[in-house]
Amino acid sequence: MVKRIYSISQGFPKEEIYGLQQQVRRCAVSVPSNIAEGIGRNHNKDTVQFLYVAKGSLYEMETQLYLAMDLNYIQEKTLSEALNHVISIRKLLLGFIKYKISKTIVPQHSAPSTQH
């Protein structure tokens, strides 16, 4: 996704180098960076928090792609292809979050039986 976003944003106008182009690229880099940082944490709760940050970056990037199309920096077809990729990544990320959350919940042990 990062390579795709860099490629897409390369065609943005020069005046966007420090604007939308830089912002959409930061979001793209933020997704795998936060996933990696989360995985590097010692606790599932910390990992999940970073995965949620990555998910937020995906939503931010999606919004910026819509803005790029609205500003005629990208074609609708380019937007559609990128969004399909974003949606796939989001589904994988949500599945990973659910998995990590399930590993965070500590099963409750039943109380010892008092019957003899």
Q: What is the pTM of this model?
A: 0.84
pLDDT band at 2 (very low <50, low <70, confident <90, very high): very high
Please give the Cα distance from 28 to 77 (Å, whole number). Answer: 19
CATH number for the region 2-104 comes to 1.20.1440.60
Please give the Cα distance from 5 to 45 (Å, whole number). Answer: 30
Q: Summarize pLDDT for 72-115 with one digit per residue, the tens.
A: 999 999 999 999 999 999 999 999 999 999 987 655 555 555 55
